[in-house]
Chain A
Amino acid sequence: MLFPDIPEAAVWAIYFAPIASFVAIVAFLRSRPLLAGRITIAAVFVAWLLAVWALDTVSGHDGESVGFASHHWMSLFEFEVDLGIRLDGLSAMMLFVVTSISLLVQIYSTGYMAGDGGYARFFAFMSLFTAAMLGLVMSSSLLQLFVHWELVGLTSYLLIGFWFHKPSAAAAAKKAFIVTRFGDFGFMLAVILIWSKTHTFDIFEINEAVHHLPRAVVAGFVVGLLSGAAGKSAQFPLHFWLPDAMEGPTPVSSIVHSATMVAAGVYLLARFFPAVHAAPGGIQMLIAYTGGFTAIFAASMGIVATDIKRVLAYSTISQLGYMVMALGLGGYPAAMFHLFTHAFFKSLLFQGAGSVSHATNTFEMPLMGGLRKHMPITFITFVIGALSLSGIFPLAGFWSKDEILLDAWKHDKFLFAIATTVAFMTALYMFRAIFMTFFGEYKGGAPAEDHGSSHDAPDAHATASTDAHGGHGGLHESPRSMTFPLIMLSIPAIFFGLIAPSGFFGELMEGALDPSLRHFHFEIEPVVLVTSTVAALGGIAAAAAIYYAQMPSSSMIRSRLGPLPRVVERLYLVNEIAETGMVRGVLQGAGRGAALIDKYLVDGAVNMAGYATRFAGDMLRRGQTGQVQANTSLMLIGVVAAASTLMALSGGLIERVSPGLLDRLMP
């Protein structure tokens, strides 16, 4: 601990700094894009400095919560909401991760987004995203967390659809929002359920209260959280929005859809780890197997994808599956450690992919190749990221992945087998990507698009094409604003794992928990160590054999496997089932049916009543002959009839129903 304890106002400033830059850009800087970028960087830098201070304070407290009072926001009878900050090991770590990556991504974006017509809008959205994400992790109240959870979803929507002129981007944005909202349906029910049982939103109090609640309530609450987490963290069966989300600009993928927002689901389960822990064993199994299945399922799709960003997207889903699995197995520190290291190397890999496309105008790996000579910094940093992700000693990913594998080894051998297979597949698809992109011959990239006077430059954008002098001459290393973050991110990707053996990180995380739940100590299991390293090296070797040496070549393997690769390439038809089956079939069908019923049955009945009245009116009109004799005689009959009825009833019926009514009506 180097500094005095951080005051509450300074922690709020972490949150309000990016909000201030958002407001400033929207209000004043729409037409001054360069300044917008700089303001954003400055604001996030301030937030980063303060986040480091917060982390320092918390580590001085051994990860235990720094008690800040909460502030009244609104109250309606029992429905009271207080807003506050919960600063403990878990949230301080997240603040550090979010601000670090956000800072580097903003710097990267000044290069990547240069010349884009929506430059200022981009930084406004990025500021808003950063603020929402920071608000999410520092919330002391479940409702506060939920509010920011939704705002993060909103900014994700806005950023995926940033190039809304592309129909694919607009569709992907909509899909991401709706699919995650589907998960939020469960999350919202969990919020409502837990409030109706405990009448509090305070995260700490809820985590205490779960020990006294009926098991069914806890189970329902945790399943609701899992549903929300599955939506945000793209876990099966709500995973299919994330690959499409790659339609957004690459800096967005690098922060929102790899390092931070998609980790929010994992964070949610970790934040409520005491509740997860108190849930019935079956629910914990459900969480673990959801994660395990997602991990292997997504990894298999990563092997066949040809778009480098999609490979990384599947990899992200797969790695998030690891974390969810670890949480289900009770491995809370391991899950958080992997979240921590993964954020850095996955952000690095995405930025590497963006750098590659900056040169080649495409994300399609079959159109690349041989880039290592032209883009040495991108190449080296990308390999560092890939090695770290594959779990090669002593890089960061090795340490965090091994902790997860160790938890699986201790609790569930079947999941351990799956996780080890995933480790093999991870190394395979990452090095497949490296060999296809950086080795062999350059295949020419994509032709530079002619943008004319339009400022809406698509992803592989204008500066790349103006630099191009045809053929290989266009290949170039990216500008310094882009290589600097790559280099900076390789540092944590290499070294951050080395804190593992000290046990510092695990203790920091467990400080957020009740003392009875703390049992982290660093250990090494030789079996796990050896199998995981063998699996990773095997994956790299297989990738080298197939995609570098070409023996056996990938087409040969494909032909041996029959229809399987095609099924995997079609993403196991999940898109088709979800879109055609659920949306088109069920919802549209229900909509059509309901609309027909509404039109013909409900409204038809109304119109029928109208026609019937008119018909009756027509009939009665016939009676209105206008002859005085007829009218008078009819009137006479009517009066007599009415009078006799009244008289008959006056003594009997009315008196019985309501004594004294007639006296009151006719005094």
Chain B
Amino acid sequence: MLTLFLLLPLAGALLAIALPAHREGEAKIIALCFSALNLAIAVVMYVVFDRGVEGYQFVDRFEWITGADAGFSVQYVVGVDGLSAPLIVLLGLLSVVSVLVSWNIDLKPKQYFAWLLILESAVAGVFLSLDLIQFFLFWELELLPMFFLISQWGSGRRLYSATKFLLYTLAGSALMLVGFLVIGFGAHTFDIEALTKAPPQETVVPLAIVFWAIMLAFLVKLPVFPLHTWLPDAHTDAPTAVSVMLAGVLLKMGGYGILRIVLPLMPNEVHDFSKVLATIAGFSVIWGAIITLRQTDLKRLVAYSSVSHMGYVLLGVSALGPVGLSGAALQMFTHGCITGLLFVMVGMIYDRTHTREISQLRGLMHHMPLIGTVFIVAGLASLGLPAMSGFVAEITVFLGSMGPHPAATMAAVFGVVLSAGYILWTIERILHGPKTHDFHDLTDARKWWELTAMGILVVAIIGVGIWPAVLTDTVRMGIEPIAKIVEAAS
């Protein structure tokens, strides 16, 4: 089942590329079918998922590179647990959304949709892999579609931004590979499940160094201050769909990596450095929020708010208790939906007004009430309004982190006040105010793909906000074993 989830988009990509030139417009239909099918698989998997047992489910495994002499082998293993299952659903959701918001792409559509599908596959590989080498391969594979999507279909300084994104991630992942190799050689296996059960005790390089080598890659991806400057550039110049994927699922790879690999494999080091991580997190939240207050470009604004909100993930991780860790996992899912929706809305506004400068937009609520309303919903969710998913995640993080890191938690809670500031300021500037003639011929969202894209995410955000158990019961099963390992190490 999971292998199918992994391979279907690739098959779709091949099919899209194989289209004859005069039918290249149909690439989007192929992309939609395959991503919708994948979403269906994800949902079925999530429903069937057994919330009564810990550990991995739906595991597919076969040996890939056998190296029995050396005592280890590289294998293909995929599986989900309570931590990755929601992220797979998120990936399925946002893939469909990103295809939908790309419906008007007419520049080389075959290649565009093929890359988009490959991207889905690569990210799926990261979330599903239970082998370090395999994880790394998919981690690197994701760079390829991202680079081309930004540099070919982007805007502004797209080549600069794409290169920056590439180099940042590569620099991080080079260190990560070294770290993986050290761990793998130390424990004679790359199997994550086996490593979790018996973390390497001694390695060639001190584990503290390995910890930071791997952590750096994940912190770049998350991102946190001061490793975040690639994010605003990449977002600003990327097409809408890529922004949705980038903010929605790619950033989650960082948080996922920390929870899946760093914590269970190096629990002692995590304890040693938890204060450092909490400080980075608290600072990142405030720093991101303060800079967001100054942004004049809608997309940059949402991008910087991501830096602030992803700080909550790191804060939850640094708390090291089950509640904080669950909060981090929840925040990853919820931030994906909320920021994804915000980027969708910014894209819709840009499509109509051809500007993202806040100073040039005003009174849009009169011309496009539906877009305005959904923008407000997304904004309110982003500022952590209860009855929406963001609140559940944030309060969980705070409850978990207050005990171990009171100062960082207070800073992060203050970040919530600041987020109210920039969100409401933006709403006031672009949506409210008198009617203007500049925009009198703009149409509201009426196309089915726009309505579907907004609808899916609004339902996910409010649904989780009102009935969080749909998410928390699963997350709990994934976090419990990790939390046990971490607590045992203290």
Question: Chain A: residues with CB nearer than 8 A to chain B?
Answer: 73-79, 143, 146-148, 150-151, 154, 157, 161, 164-167, 170-171, 173-174, 177-178, 181-182, 184-185, 188-189, 191-193, 195-196, 587-588, 590-592, 594-595, 598, 602-603, 606, 610, 657-658, 661, 664, 667
Contact = CB atoms under 8 A, between A and B. Distances in A.
A165 B472 contact: no
A594 B434 CA distance: 33
Contacts of B326: 76-77, 79
Contact of A143 (B322, B395, B480): B395
A450 B279 CA distance: 58
Contacts of B386: 146-148, 150-151
A660 to B, nearest CB: 10
B53 interface: no
B221 to A, nearest CB: 15
B290 A192 contact: no
Contacts of A167: 432-434
* List of 8 A-B pairs having minimum Cβ-Cβ separation, nearest first: A170-B432, A147-B386, A591-B294, A603-B229, A164-B432, A77-B322, A658-B204, A591-B293
A76 B329 CA distance: 12
Contacts of B363: 165
Interface of B: 69-70, 164, 167-168, 185, 203-205, 225-226, 228-230, 287, 290-291, 293-295, 321-323, 326-327, 363, 365-366, 380, 385-387, 391-392, 395-396, 398-400, 402-403, 409-410, 413-414, 416-418, 420-421, 424-425, 427-428, 431-435, 468-469, 472, 475-476, 479-480, 483
A591 B290 contact: yes
A173 to B, nearest CB: 8
Contact of A192 (B399, B420, B427): B399
Contacts of A594: 287, 290-291, 294
A490 to B, nearest CB: 37
Given A164-B433, A592-B294, A594-B294, A76 B416 contact: no
B73 to A, nearest CB: 15
A192 B409 contact: yes
A602 B229 contact: yes
Contacts, number: 148
A167 B322 CA distance: 46
Centre residue among A78, A157, A170 by max chain B CB count within 10 A: A170
A438 to B, nearest CB: 34
Nearest to B427: A174
A292 to B, nearest CB: 27
Given A588-B294, A602-B229, A74 B402 contact: no
B229 A79 contact: no
A157 B423 CA distance: 13
A76 B417 contact: no
A657 B427 CA distance: 59
B318 to A, nearest CB: 15
A188 B294 contact: no
Nearest to A150: B386
Contact of A188 (B385, B413, B472): B413
A661 B181 CA distance: 13
Given A76-B472, A78-B323, A174-B428, A185 B290 contact: no
Given A76-B476, A602-B226, A181 B385 contact: no
B417 A181 contact: yes
Contacts of A178: 417, 420-421, 424
A595 B294 CA distance: 7
B123 to A, nearest CB: 25
Contacts of B323: 76-79
A610 B433 contact: no
B387 A196 contact: no
A657 B204 contact: yes
Contacts of A161: 432
Contact of B164 (A147, A154, A606, A657): A606
A192 B413 contact: yes
Nearest to B426: A174
Given A73-B468, A77-B326, A79-B396, A588 B365 contact: no
A74 B468 contact: yes
A514 B327 CA distance: 36
Centre residue among B168, B366, B398 by max chain A CB count within 10 A: B398
A485 to B, nearest CB: 30
A177 B294 contact: no
B398 A147 contact: no
A628 to B, nearest CB: 32
Given A76-B396, A164-B433, A587-B293, A170 B229 contact: no
A195 B420 CA distance: 24
Centre residue among A77, A147, A590, A610 by max chain B CB count within 10 A: A77
A542 B70 CA distance: 99
A148 B387 CA distance: 9
Contacts of A588: 293-294
Contacts of A150: 385-386, 391
B204 A661 contact: yes
A269 B420 CA distance: 25
B417 A664 contact: no
B424 A177 contact: yes
A150 B414 CA distance: 16
A464 to B, nearest CB: 22
A587 B290 contact: yes
A196 B397 CA distance: 12
Nearest to B292: A591
Nearest to B431: A164
A201 B284 CA distance: 29
A138 to B, nearest CB: 16
Contacts of A610: 167
A177 B420 contact: yes
A181 B420 CA distance: 8
B398 A188 contact: yes
Contacts of A173: 424, 428
Contacts of B424: 157, 173-174, 177-178
B420 A76 contact: no
Contact of A164 (B225, B365, B387): B365
Contacts of B205: 658
A489 B398 CA distance: 44
Given A150-B385, A587-B421, A602-B225, 12 more contacts: A76-B326, A76-B476, A77-B321, A79-B396, A79-B399, A150-B386, A173-B428, A185-B417, A595-B295, A598-B291, A664-B185, A667-B70
B414 A185 contact: yes
A598 B229 contact: yes
A175 to B, nearest CB: 9
Contacts of B293: 587-588, 591
A182 B417 contact: yes
Contacts of A174: 424-425, 427-428
A188 B435 contact: no
A547 B273 CA distance: 70
Contacts of B414: 185
Given A147-B391, A150-B386, A151-B386, A77 B398 contact: no
B470 to A, nearest CB: 9
A214 to B, nearest CB: 14
A184 B419 CA distance: 13
Nearest to A601: B226
Contact of A73 (B403, B417, B469): B469
A185 B402 contact: no
Nearest to B419: A181
A621 to B, nearest CB: 19
A177 B428 CA distance: 12
Nearest to B414: A185
Contacts of B385: 150-151, 154
Contact of B433 (A74, A165, A657, A661): A165
A554 to B, nearest CB: 36
Nearest to B366: A165
A174 B426 CA distance: 10
5 contacts: A76-B472, A77-B322, A79-B400, A178-B424, A189-B410
Nearest to B307: A598
Contacts of A191: 395
